[in-house]
Amino acid sequence: MPVLARTGRELLYGRNPVLEALRGRRSIERLFIAEGAREDERLRGLMRLATERGVEIDRIPRLMLDDATRGANHQGIALEAEPYRYAEFEDLVTAPGTVLVLDHLQDPQNVGTLFRAAEAAGVAGVVIAEDRAAAVTPAVVNASAGAVEHLHVAAVPNLARALEALKGSGRWVAGLDAGAGATNIFATEIPTPAVLVVGAEGTGLGANLRKHCDLLLALPMRGRVDSLNAATAGAIAIYELLRR
Q: Is the pLDDT of residue 225 over 80?
A: no
pLDDT digit string, tens, across residues 185-222: 999 999 989 999 999 887 789 999 999 999 999 998 88
SS3 142: helix
DSSP conformation letters of 22-46:
HHSSS-EEEEEEETT----HHHHHH
How far apart, in whole angstroms, are the C-alpha atoms of residue 71 and residue 109?
Answer: 16
Residue 114 has pLDDT above 70, yes or no: yes
pLDDT score at 3: 57
Q: Of the candidates 126, 166, 131, 167, which has an alpha carbon nearest to the alpha carbon of residue 148?
A: 126
Amino acid of residue 191: P
Average pLDDT value over all residues in the chain: 93
What is the share, in percent, of the chain residues with pLDDT greater than 70? 98
Among 56-65, 135-144, 196-205, the least confident range: 196-205
Query: Which residues contact residue 171 at a Cβ distance below 8 angstroms, ignoring those fewer than 6 apart?
Result: 98, 99, 193, 194, 195
For the segment 124-137, what is each residue's pLDDT rounded down to a tens digit? 999 999 999 999 99
Q: What is the pLDDT of residue 194?
A: 95
| Residue 30 confidence (pLDDT) | 95
Mean pLDDT for the stretch of residues 112-116 = 98
* Each residue's pLDDT tens digit, 28-47: 999 999 998 888 999 999 99
User: What DSSP character marks residue 97?
Assistant: S
State the average pLDDT over residues 232-239.
Answer: 95
